[in-house]
Structure 1
Amino acid sequence: MADNLEIVYQSRNRLAHHEPVLYNRFTETIAAIKYIAQHLEAPTPGDHTPLYRLIADDIVSVEASAATLHSELDAYRQP
Structure 2
Amino acid sequence: MADNLEIVYQGRNRLAHHEPVLYNRFTETIAAIKYIAQHLEVRTPSDQTPLYRLIADDIAAVEASAVTLHSELDAFRT
- TM-score (structure 1 length as normaliser): 0.92
| Counterparts of 1:32 and 1:56, CA distance in 2 | 13
**Percent of counterpart pairs with the same letter?**
87
| Match in the other structure for 2:5 | 5
Q: 1:63 to 1:47 in 2, by over 3 A?
A: closer
Q: Give unpaired runs (5+ residues) of structure 2.
A: none
Q: Please tell me whether Structure 1 or Structure 2 has the larger radius of gyration of its CA atoms.
A: 1
Q: For residue 42 of structure 1, report the CA deviation from its aligned partner.
A: 1.6
Note if contact 2:7-2:29 (Cα within 8 Å) is conserved in structure 1.
Answer: yes
| Counterparts of 1:71 and 1:28, CA distance in 2 | 18
| Match in the other structure for 2:34 | 34
- TM-score (structure 2 length as normaliser): 0.93
Runs of at least 4 residues of structure 1 off by over 6 A? none
CA RMSD of aligned residues (A): 1.4
Q: Give unpaired runs (5+ residues) of structure 1.
A: none
Matched pairs, number: 76
